[in-house]
Structure 1
Amino acid sequence: MISSWVCYVGVDVGTASVRAALVTRDGLLRSTAEEPISIWEPQSDHYVQSSTEIWEKCCTVKVTQGVERNQVRGIGFDATCSLVVLDQTFQPVPVSQDGDRQKNVVMWMDHRAAEQAARITNTGHKVLSRVGGVMSPEMQPPKLLWLKENLKESCWNKAAHFFDLPDFLSWKATGSLTRSLCTLVCKWTYCPPEGWDASFWTSIGLEDLLENNFSKIGSVTCSPGSPLGGGLTQEAAVDLGLVPGTAVGASLIDAHAGGLGVIGADVKGFNLPCEDQPITSRMAMICGTSTCHMAISEQPLFVPGVWGPCLSAMVPDMWLNEGGQSATGRLIDHMVKGHAAYTQLQEQAHYLNSHLSLMANAHSAVDLLGSSLHVWPDFHGNRSPLADPTLKGMVVGLSLSQTLDDLALLYLATVQALALGTLHILEAMKEAGHDIRTLFLCGGLSKNSLFVQIHANATGLPVVLPDQMEAVLIGAAVLGACASQDYTTIQEAMEKMAKVGKVVQPNQELKR
């Protein structure tokens, strides 16, 4: 029998920080910690990071104080789907014109390869059917093509290993070059069981990646949560303060870890429309800097403008469709901090949610305050379902006034626009065959009560919030639990470790 005192470590590398958690077998967070990581913007739409710094922060973000090292039975990593470039000796290779070797990560939100993405889309290759028909500049093929075309001498010719950041972390921990199906299927056009499509890479001018059985981008794959190598290497164990050989699970993209941390929760007794229904009736929304909308199905469903279907990319043996919005939390920050009244907001310490409630004066729903101000939220392009990275944002209904009330209304209109964007994605998924009845939210924005309520109102669906608000970290720990073989499947682990905290129902007085 497995002791209830065993723990797992989940490590989440987000856009701007590394977070870690110590998680019990039944999914309770015993401790968490966070370390910031650097982001550089060498030029417009170029965002880069350092894999060396990221790994160092993974090792300094300690959560195991006061716990015997042998109580930690597994560790799992998730990260943003950023591109890491290393040379033959696994040293960093620069991804910018300045030649700084430490800046060797092209971030997920880097849009330098928009023109390459458009060219790849124009090939009409069959692999594009699994990315909604449109290649996004946030995926890895256009970024690789950009590096070849723009940094051939300083980067491309020296590169021997291209990792998705989650796979880089599991390699650092174990020395294993095995890649997670999550990263390769979702961001690199890999398609199990056939594998890589050589004709695709040749058609876009990257035929050199075919060398040595695709060794530069991954020859061996496995499902998320599968144990890698012999567990933690001696060096990684020292760095992380854990026992050598501790089980390490194949990694996940951060949004997909959030999906694992919420979507499988036991909902009995909450009177939800997804109760007694298959897990395919649920959609997970991971809401942070950007938002990802994750829906799974037993059979492949093709949704125009939505990524997927991806087999075993989140839940093994299930197909995943991933919608998304490129800027959500980042957009809200941009709108609020750029307003003339932002300094007044700081001085008066007003919270915008409570200020909006005062403005509504209890006589009408807060939603109705935004009836004369409208935002089109694609300030960083539309990821789905329009799949147009060239789209720009728009605000209609502005006046010359710059009061705190105006700031509150702009904030409200931005949140409403994001919620209507979710509705747009949801309708595209339903039209393609998904039967989604309940939303499961996690991530930083899920802690914003107005954001949650307006999503329930806009979609007409109940919203489930997790008991442990750091659901992404729970999802990462699920990987470690599976790798340790304390749970036999991802499905079993997420049902036991994910729990419902609160249910938010749509406001019935508001008719869509």
Structure 2
Amino acid sequence: MDYFIGIDVGTGSARAGLFDENGRLIANQSRSIQTWRPGPNFVEQSSDDIWEAICTCTREVVAESSVNPTEIKGIGFDATCSLVLVDADGKPVTASPDGDDRQNIIVWMDHRALAETERINSSGDFSVFSFVGGKISPEMQTPKLLWLKNHLPESWRRTRHFFDLPDFLTFRATGSTTRSLCSTTCKWTYLAHEAAEGRSGWQEDFFRAIGLKDLAEEDFARIGTEILPMGEPVGQGLTETAASELGLVPGTAVGVSIIDAHAGGIGMIGMPDKSEGPTPADLENRLALIGGTSSCHMVASPEMRPIPGVWGPYFSSMIPGLWLNEGGQSATGALVDHIIFNHGATEAMIQASKEAGITPYEVLNDKLAELAVGGPLEELTADLHVCPYFHGNRSPRANPHLVGMISGLHLSAELTDLALLYLATIQAIAYGTRHIVEAMNASGYAIDTLVCCGGGTKNPVFLQQHADITQCKLILPAEPEAVILGSAMLGAVASGNCSSVQEAMAQMSRPGKIIDPQTESSTYHDAKYRVFHRLYEDQLAYQSLIKDSVARKTEN
């Protein structure tokens, strides 16, 4: 039996998982990672801290499993699409106004570059905009790069390599500066379909127009000249130094990396729900929902389908040979936690959790079940509505300036109030998913199935509300750690154990629980969904009223 390790770096933790060649998890470990917030909209991390957490997890996984490191044939890395700065010696370069070199990562959710994002989006009519849903997002890398050039010129000068975090990890493991087709296409405006036709994937006119001509004049050396598909072998495998730090064997194959959500996509979207796996055409009915701090909504097609407000279409950036459309919600798990841990009844919830030996989410689920005796649970929120744009909207409105809203509050803050607000928030997130699915289906998809992993997908209330609100069947993978499984698949491909990503998907993933939507609540959710859209429209109306008032005052 051959074994493979998947490494995943999320927003709050790093994880390692050891899998056999059939995709069965043997052992896994997790470690938290440090985050700095030096100002509003600033979120920073440390590449040294993350690498140390990865090494600790990997050594512990190997020790726990008792698998001989010589039997571990490949390793794959995934991570958030965060920006990493290193100098010519591979040492950290500060990305922080604090000036501390340890803080050398601008996290994906950092919105410091809103002004730069607006500047880029108004820079002209460039082809790259057709492949990011029409607008660059502040979660992408070009606004962050422009911010660094404008505000931290010394860091801009010192930095030899700007990496997406997944690519930094393969660099740290192998010494190779190879970049991933996934990261560069989805977050750096590299046009993979152009490269596939023998042309340059980097669009020089775009970089010159937005104020990053330095990168074009350097032939893009600082952001990537060797860009390979996911799972291709990187360099000569693990260096002696990295192997020693990880507790593995030098030369162990390392696969070209992938973004964390995309790892979850390959970790489960190809699993069969019949006797054989889905064909590429069948995938047009499936959306991969990867939950966490935020949520990503991935769907693949043999055809290119531009969708306003939905990232992509990206060629070969998740499944080789297929086009990817990527929707998303900027705050989902983070939003639920913000709601439940910043409420007048938070302490009561935590105390009940400790006394019962269950999670705070289970406390709230139990309270909802108690409140719903004699009636439908979903209708408990008839007078309570949430607009979930607390960190802007990623898809399909593509507006990072939107804010959250709550309608229907009372002069009380008991556990009952918190449970109802928690349910209304989950429903709002599910309405956001429905909005994304509708936008995708309007472009030619026929999505009727969600394959789900991560975050809230371990919560039965979250799952059933998503099924009922979207009227889609939900398939949960038999291996719930689908993200690290997806990374392990890349190690299997790099080692030669699997000949392709598609073969790894078929060989190493399998379905678990299936949740069918209930139709009885459709009329109620249709009404709530109209409220969901009305909240957005009202927000725009409020903004317009204030803007008009300020304009009149200025005129006077």
* Alignment TM class, shorter chain as reference: over 0.9
1:403 aligns to 2:414 (yes or no): yes
Structure 1 match to 2:431: 420
Structure 2 match to 1:172: 172
1:253-268 to 2 correspondences below 5 Å: 253-268=259-274
Q: C-alpha displacement at 1:293, in angstroms?
A: 0.3
Q: C-alpha displacement at 1:28, in angstroms?
A: 0.6
Instruction: Please tell me whether the aligned partners of residues 281 and 301 of structure 2 are also in contact (alpha carbons under 8 angstroms).
Output: no
| SS of equivalent residue, structure 1 residue 85 | strand
| SS of equivalent residue, structure 1 residue 214 | coil
1:383 aligns to 2:381 (yes or no): no
Deviations for 1:392-425, whole angstroms, at most 9, x for unmatched residues?
0000011112111110000000000000000001
Structure 2 match to 1:199: 205
Matched residue type, 1:316: P
Q: CA RMSD in A?
A: 1.4
1:355 aligns to 2:356 (yes or no): no
Seen in structure 2, the aligned counterparts of structure 1 residues 54 and 191 have a Cα distance that, compared at 3 Å, is same
Deviations for 1:123-173, whole angstroms, at most 9, x for unmatched residues?
2322111111111100000000000001112x1111111000000001111
Structure 1 match to 2:317: 313
Structure 2 match to 1:73: 73
Structure 2 match to 1:233: 239
1:49-448 to 2 correspondences below 5 Å: 49-61=45-57, 62=59, 63-65=61-63, 66-123=66-123, 124-153=125-154, 155-192=155-192, 193=195, 194=199, 195-268=201-274, 278-349=282-353, 351-361=363-373, 363-448=374-459
Instruction: Please tell me whether the aligned partners of residues 267 and 275 of structure 1 are also in contact (alpha carbons under 8 angstroms).
Output: no
Instruction: Please tell me whether the aligned partners of residues 268 and 275 of structure 1 are also in contact (alpha carbons under 8 angstroms).
Output: no
1:1-40 to 2 correspondences below 5 Å: 5-40=1-36
Deviations for 1:278-300, whole angstroms, at most 9, x for unmatched residues?
22221101001000000111011
1:502 to 513, 516, 526: 513
Seen in structure 2, the aligned counterparts of structure 1 residues 276 and 40 have a Cα distance that, compared at 3 Å, is closer
Instruction: Please tell me whether the aligned partners of residues 117 and 135 of structure 1 are also in contact (alpha carbons under 8 angstroms).
Output: yes
Q: C-alpha displacement at 1:267, in angstroms?
A: 1.0
Q: C-alpha displacement at 1:275, in angstroms?
A: 9.1
| SS of equivalent residue, structure 1 residue 64 | helix
Matched residue type, 2:245: D
Give the % identical residues.
Answer: 50
Q: C-alpha displacement at 1:212, in angstroms?
A: 3.5
| SS of equivalent residue, structure 1 residue 250 | coil
| SS of equivalent residue, structure 1 residue 407 | helix
Q: Distance in 1 between matches of 2:142 and 2:128?
A: 12
Q: Distance in 1 between matches of 2:376 and 2:302?
A: 39
Matched residue type, 1:296: A
Instruction: Please tell me whether the aligned partners of residues 280 and 301 of structure 2 are also in contact (alpha carbons under 8 angstroms).
Output: no
Seen in structure 2, the aligned counterparts of structure 1 residues 212 and 116 have a Cα distance that, compared at 3 Å, is closer
1:467-506 to 2 correspondences below 5 Å: 467-506=478-517
Q: C-alpha displacement at 1:371, in angstroms?
A: 1.2
Seen in structure 2, the aligned counterparts of structure 1 residues 64 and 417 have a Cα distance that, compared at 3 Å, is same
| SS of equivalent residue, structure 1 residue 31 | strand
| SS of equivalent residue, structure 2 residue 122 | helix
Instruction: Please tell me whether the aligned partners of residues 316 and 322 of structure 2 are also in contact (alpha carbons under 8 angstroms).
Output: yes
Q: Distance in 1 between matches of 2:315 and 2:175?
A: 25
Runs of 5+ consecutive residues of structure 2 not aligned to the other structure: 354-361, 527-556
| SS of equivalent residue, structure 1 residue 430 | helix
Matched residue type, 1:244: P
Q: C-alpha displacement at 1:276, in angstroms?
A: 10
**Higher helix fraction (1 or 2):** 2
Q: Distance in 2 between matches of 1:86 and 1:423?
A: 40
Seen in structure 2, the aligned counterparts of structure 1 residues 49 and 276 have a Cα distance that, compared at 3 Å, is closer
Q: Distance in 1 between matches of 2:127 and 2:437?
A: 25
Q: Distance in 2 between matches of 1:364 and 1:284?
A: 32
Q: Distance in 2 between matches of 1:150 and 1:461?
A: 46
Q: Distance in 1 between matches of 2:262 and 2:118?
A: 26
| SS of equivalent residue, structure 2 residue 257 | strand
Q: TM-score, normalised by structure 1?
A: 0.97
Q: Distance in 1 between matches of 2:474 and 2:456?
A: 13
Matched residue type, 2:159: A
Q: C-alpha displacement at 1:235, in angstroms?
A: 1.1
Matched residue type, 1:328: T
Q: Distance in 2 between matches of 1:284 and 1:156?
A: 37
Structure 1 match to 2:39: 43
Q: Number of matched residues? A: 504
Which range moved further: 283-292 or 433-442?
433-442
Q: TM-score, normalised by structure 2?
A: 0.89
Matched residue type, 2:450: L
Instruction: Please tell me whether the aligned partners of residues 2 and 21 of structure 2 are also in contact (alpha carbons under 8 angstroms).
Output: yes
Matched residue type, 1:68: N
Q: Distance in 1 between matches of 2:279 and 2:317?
A: 24
Q: C-alpha displacement at 1:19, in angstroms?
A: 0.3
Q: Distance in 2 between matches of 1:334 and 1:60?
A: 30
Q: Distance in 1 between matches of 2:160 and 2:505?
A: 36
Matched residue type, 1:425: I
Q: Distance in 2 between matches of 1:233 and 1:276?
A: 37
Seen in structure 2, the aligned counterparts of structure 1 residues 428 and 151 have a Cα distance that, compared at 3 Å, is same
Q: C-alpha displacement at 1:269, in angstroms?
A: 6.0
Instruction: Please tell me whether the aligned partners of residues 281 and 302 of structure 2 are also in contact (alpha carbons under 8 angstroms).
Output: no
| SS of equivalent residue, structure 1 residue 310 | strand
